[in-house]
Structure 1
Amino acid sequence: MAPTEAIMDVDMKDVNSPTTETETEVPKKDVDTVTTEDIREQLRQVEKSVMTKEPRFVFRVLRSLPNTRRRLNQVVLRRIIHHSYGAANKDKESLLNIVGGDESMEQASPLQRARSNKQGSLAPLPEVDAYIHMLVLLHCIDNNRIQEGIVCSDHLMQKIVAQNRRTLDLLAARCYFYHSRTYELASKLDTIRSFLHSRLRTCTLRKDFEGQAVLINCLLRNYLFYNLYDQADKLVSKSVFPESGSNNEWSRYLYYLGRIKAIQLEYSQAHTHLLQAIRKAPQHTAVGFKQTVQKLLVTVELLLGDIPERKLFRQSTMRYALAPYFQMTQAVRLGDIHRFNKVLETYGNMFQADHTYTLIIRLRHNVIKTAIRAISLSYSRISLADIATKLMLDSAEDVEFIVAKAIRDGVIEALLDHEGKFMQSKESIDLYSTKEPQVAFHQRIAFCLQIHNQSVKAMRFPPKAYNKDLESAEERREREQQDLEYAKEMAEEDDDGFP
């Protein structure tokens, strides 16, 4: 039996060997060729969207843009430019100069060369032209070629301004964002502010909701970049953000709105806007955006007197980004002035980069209030000099004013003796006999109702989906004719039943 099994094994190997050789003979395409084919398919989808007037094909292309962006290089872009533009087209030479490289980097087939020469000066569709320019702009941004990116972006904006096509609106909205991003990297955001305002007026008149949403966010980011909070607030009050805007644009808008309200001491509204921004943000991506929002949200919660949950700081995506804010939260919770000053000194530059330094400076009063509340609960009577020692303040007179303000704000229940220079705490009362449980319960109910209303408003349906169940005029006539015939048959049957 053993020799037979050996022969069978050898036969099986001989049978399988040609298949393996066939599989190895199939040539594998390199990454640049696959990327070029994918972009060509995207260009066909854009053309299909223009011909059929269906924006969903452009949506599909824009959704795949992050993946395409990671695979862009000079070889791919030069192939796409040669494939899309004629030999005598003016844009072809300018784009090739921006991309860089030389002819030796390309491996275009003779068929593609002949097609490019045959096209002559024929230009692609404006939508295809805008998409190719946007890809070149993204390549410049990712490779830190800001000056070339500015040239490409200005050229792209000139093309978009000259067009008035509804099929170009979605691509134009994305181009506005990258145009603003390019000038932000060059620290020249103030130079395009008037251009963004003019485009916002145009998009508002043309009912271009996506472009309107993107331009409002670009203007808000422009103002906040230079700390022009008053002008940003005026823009919010004078403009209406479109409800049909995408969730990503809504997330950005709510974040900017939260920053404005926080600076204006409207912490409750800022907290509401920031929570909505996190809920509308993508669940599995945009980690950097969610980290930025959480940093501001933690600061606002501390200013409101609340302590964020510890599990927030333990998340894998938030642990390192929120480490300074976790130490700040511990200092505020314990009312430790020394620890607060140490954290502020250590991470001051990081707080300034996060645009939370101004708000964190305000937390000093919260730390003092927390410390005074802890002291009032621990001591029934304590001198102002001892309070100054515990709070590491210079004089007892400053402590007297701080304690008086805490009593007036309802932070503590105590009496202040000016002549005796001491603070005497009142007996603690039953918390459930006050209105605090009712207020907390009301906040929870309002929060749940708000989520329900926002979920209902966020529901999306296909356009004219209700027409599927409705019958046409011809079908209605046929149904009525059948009903009449059926009624006559029923009448005849009734007549036959009664002679």
Structure 2
Amino acid sequence: MSTEVSKESEKKEEESKIEEDKEKAVEPVVQTVEDEILAHLVMIGRAVSTTEPRFTLRILRTLTTLRKKLTKPVLRFALDQAFPKGSKTGQTLIASSIFQDLPSKDEGESMEVDADATPVSKKYSPPTDGATSDLLPEGVVYLRLLLILANLDAGKSKEAGEFALETTELITQANRRTMDQLASKVYFYLARAYELQGRLTELQPLLLATRQTASLRKDETLEATVLNLLIRSYLAQHQYDQADRLVARVTFPTNVNQAQSVRYMFYLARLRAVQLNYASASTLLNNAIRRAPKDEVAPGFVQILHKYLIVVTLLTGVIPDRTIFRKPVLKQALVPYFQIVQAVRVGDMTAFQKAFSTYESTFNADSTHFLILRLRHFVIKTALRSITLAYSRISLADVCVKLHLDSEEDTEYIVAKAIKDGVIDATIDHAGGYMQSRIAKDVYETDAPQLEFNRRVGTCTQLYNETVRAMRYPPNAHRRELESAADARERDREYAQLVQESEDAGDDLDDL
């Protein structure tokens, strides 16, 4: 028995070693940036041959770190090795202005290559298309995506936008489902390039047509990406009606990556905040914060989420928790909003106006300017409540000075509205031009305690009566039970008699 067990264990070890060797052969160890790019091309070929999008998704997750290492020599080497010799597509990309105009600050630096390392061209053989003997279209799109990122990082947004638009046309002509994941990234950076130029609205017809096509093809990744880009475009241009109609008629895909779903929640929360639906906006922002990446991964996105959450929370009439402003990632970015929160909490119009004028450029950059302006009414209400507690009678002129309002007439309207809404308990003497606060009476001097006691006694009495009625049995219920028992015994006797007669008949047949 022991020898058989040892043989089986040896066989399992050999099989595991063979599988590891196969995986290493498919995914060799990456040593340089050039190796990483060519290894990604090999993995793209594997994704196309097996129709498994997870390999492409694995590559796209590395774009954030890979784009920091892209230089002109690296891209030149990758383009030379990726395309077969004499490839027109490769020669066109190398000769294109999108590549030639890249800054060559690292041109003179020699690439560090290990002397004992195998040449890149021998370790990696990028997959080719059987029909054209050229690099796979998915690989071409991936290399074009790297060129777009390199130009964006170099500040050439116009060139990157034109090249990305050309890439989208190639994707449309190819019409391959194995290109869907790459297409979503190309459209994302196309919109980013146009947004940096202030021309995002020019892409709205293209994005609408692309979203419709993606929906018909069940391409949920591209559909979610383009939908978020459309809503972002509408919000940037203050086209809130168009954004609301789009959201109402379209269902956001469910099987998409978490980044797109979080973006959708954030854009939808901004739309709901503009529409005065602060409760829905607060719920969406809290869900987005829970699903957002870690603070170290996307600090800017986490900061803008908390900025909108603070403003929306204030608009709901609640003061945000002070611990939010103590987080290391948010501490410096939320300084302007902390000043606004302090002014709203104490109802200080002077502090509110000072903070707003000091950080107005920051609020405009965050697109929270118009929402913070709405907080002015909350500051006035809080200040009025403090004034009524401090003064039994005060002239409207003094209220106007304390609230820094434009005129005494506006002050009278604001005080009357606060009285009507129940914010303060006071009266206005129009002839005398002052506001009289009502003195709060002791509650035990009124009949309120007696009424409350009677209400509670009535509730207890009603509960007792309902309980007693529930415990009562219906009349003559025991007789019905006796009658049903007698009927059951009668049926049992009839069944027994029928069984006996059938047995007797069976005996007679056996005799025959």
Of 379-388 and 122-131, the range deviating more from structure 2: 379-388
Cα distance in 2 for partners of 1:91, 1:412 equals 75
> Are the aligned partners of 2:285 and 2:305 in contact in 1 as well (CA < 8 Å)?
yes
Matched, 1:427 2:440: yes
> Are the aligned partners of 1:79 and 1:106 in contact in 2 as well (CA < 8 Å)?
no
Cα distance in 2 for partners of 1:48, 1:426 equals 81
Q: Structure 1 regions of 5+ residues with no counterpart?
A: 1-31, 434-499
**Which residue number in structure 2 is paired with residue 143 of structure 1?**
154
> Are the aligned partners of 1:298 and 1:325 in contact in 2 as well (CA < 8 Å)?
yes
**Which residue number in structure 2 is paired with residue 315 of structure 1?**
327
Residue 95 of structure 1: how far off its partner (Å) = 2.3
> Are the aligned partners of 1:213 and 1:245 in contact in 2 as well (CA < 8 Å)?
yes
Cα distance in 2 for partners of 1:266, 1:233 equals 13
State the TM-score, normalizing by the size of structure 1.
Answer: 0.74
**Which residue number in structure 1 is paired with residue 490 of structure 2?**
none
**Which residue number in structure 2 is paired with residue 235 of structure 1?**
246
Aligned partner of 1:352 among 349, 361, 364: 364
**Which is greater in Rg?**
2
SS of residue paired to 1:244: coil
Residue 377 of structure 1: how far off its partner (Å) = 2.6
1:77-116 deviation per Cα after TM superposition (whole angstroms, max 9, x unaligned): 1111111113433332332232237998887999849x99
**Which residue number in structure 2 is paired with residue 440 of structure 1?**
none
Residue 426 of structure 1: how far off its partner (Å) = 4.8
> Are the aligned partners of 2:426 and 2:435 in contact in 1 as well (CA < 8 Å)?
no
1:117-161 deviation per Cα after TM superposition (whole angstroms, max 9, x unaligned): xx9973211221111111111111011122331232122111111
**Which residue number in structure 1 is paired with residue 88 of structure 2?**
90
**Which residue number in structure 2 is paired with residue 63 of structure 1?**
61
Counterpart of 2:342, as a letter, is Q
Matched, 1:155 2:153: no
Q: Structure 2 regions of 5+ residues with no counterpart?
A: 1-29, 444-448, 450-512
1:365-416 deviation per Cα after TM superposition (whole angstroms, max 9, x unaligned): 1110110111223334433333223223344332221111112222223333
> Are the aligned partners of 1:176 and 1:215 in contact in 2 as well (CA < 8 Å)?
yes
1:338-378 deviation per Cα after TM superposition (whole angstroms, max 9, x unaligned): 11111121111221111111111121111101101112233
> Are the aligned partners of 1:332 and 1:370 in contact in 2 as well (CA < 8 Å)?
yes
Aligned partner of 2:283 among 254, 259, 272: 272
Cα distance in 2 for partners of 1:234, 1:300 equals 22
**Which residue number in structure 2 is paired with residue 417 of structure 1?**
429
SS of residue paired to 1:317: helix
Counterpart of 1:305, as a letter, is G
1:1-42 deviation per Cα after TM superposition (whole angstroms, max 9, x unaligned): xxxxxxxxxxxxxxxxxxxxxxxxxxxxxxx96111112222
**Which residue number in structure 2 is paired with residue 184 of structure 1?**
195
Cα distance in 2 for partners of 1:87, 1:221 equals 43
Residue 318 of structure 1: how far off its partner (Å) = 0.9
Aligned partner of 1:222 among 212, 223, 233: 233
> Are the aligned partners of 2:35 and 2:120 in contact in 1 as well (CA < 8 Å)?
no
Aligned partner of 1:80 among 78, 81, 88: 78
Cα distance in 2 for partners of 1:320, 1:417 equals 48
Judged with a 3 Å threshold, the aligned counterparts in structure 2 of structure 1 residues 197 and 399 are, in CA distance, closer, same or farther, namely: same
**Which residue number in structure 1 is paired with residue 267 of structure 2?**
256
Cα distance in 2 for partners of 1:199, 1:126 equals 20
Of 357-366 and 90-99, the range deviating more from structure 2: 90-99
Cα distance in 2 for partners of 1:199, 1:334 equals 50
Cα distance in 2 for partners of 1:110, 1:389 equals 80
> Are the aligned partners of 1:95 and 1:136 in contact in 2 as well (CA < 8 Å)?
no
Cα distance in 1 for partners of 2:205, 2:403 equals 51
Residue 213 of structure 1: how far off its partner (Å) = 0.4
Residue 290 of structure 1: how far off its partner (Å) = 1.2
SS of residue paired to 1:241: coil
Cα distance in 2 for partners of 1:344, 1:111 equals 58
Residue 428 of structure 1: how far off its partner (Å) = 7.6
**Which residue number in structure 2 is paired with residue 470 of structure 1?**
none
Provide the identity percentage: 41
Cα distance in 2 for partners of 1:241, 1:37 equals 38
Residue 273 of structure 1: how far off its partner (Å) = 1.7
Counterpart of 2:49, as a letter, is M
Cα distance in 1 for partners of 2:110, 2:136 equals 24
**Which residue number in structure 1 is paired with residue 48 of structure 2?**
50
Residue 429 of structure 1: how far off its partner (Å) = 8.6
Counterpart of 1:99, as a letter, is F
Residue 198 of structure 1: how far off its partner (Å) = 0.9
State the TM-score, normalizing by the size of structure 2.
Answer: 0.72
**Which residue number in structure 1 is paired with residue 417 of structure 2?**
405
SS of residue paired to 1:415: strand
